[in-house]
Amino acid sequence: MNRYVYILSLFICWAAVFSSTVYADEFIVAQNNKTFKKDGKKIESITIKKGDTIRFKNEDPFFHNIFSLSDLKTFDLGSFPKGQSKTVVFDKAGTVEVECAIHPEMYMEVTIE
């Protein structure tokens, strides 16, 4: 097989497998091994700016949920499987507690400045 075709194929595959795009005001928080992780490290809190987005990305082979019953912002993103992600825009300053309803040990605090 033509070498260029081979390289092109690998590139397309790579793009297909790792197609998560990063935006400037978007933070990616992974749901991994029943913890919240940022850049591969477990986190229990994160500080962001008003208007920023957090993309919660499930990397475990089972479903996760994301919800908050905080006064500042309440939401329930349902449950989603490995590879899928859901976003939340934090549009008011303050703190929001984020949890996974399925696994209560998955808990983090978002501080919005």
Q: By the criterion CB under 8 A, which residues form the site for another protein?
A: 1-2, 5-6, 8-10, 12-13, 16-17, 34, 61-63, 65, 67, 69, 76, 78-79, 81, 99, 101-105
> Which is closer to another protein, CB of 29 or CB of 66?
66
Q: Which residues neighbour 102 within 8 Å (Cβ) at sequence distance 6 or greater?
A: 63, 64, 65, 79
> Which is closer to another protein, CB of 9 or CB of 47?
9
| Residue 102 touching Cu ion (CB under 5 A) | yes
DSSP, res 81: -
Q: CA-CA distance, 76 to 61, in Å (whole number)?
A: 21
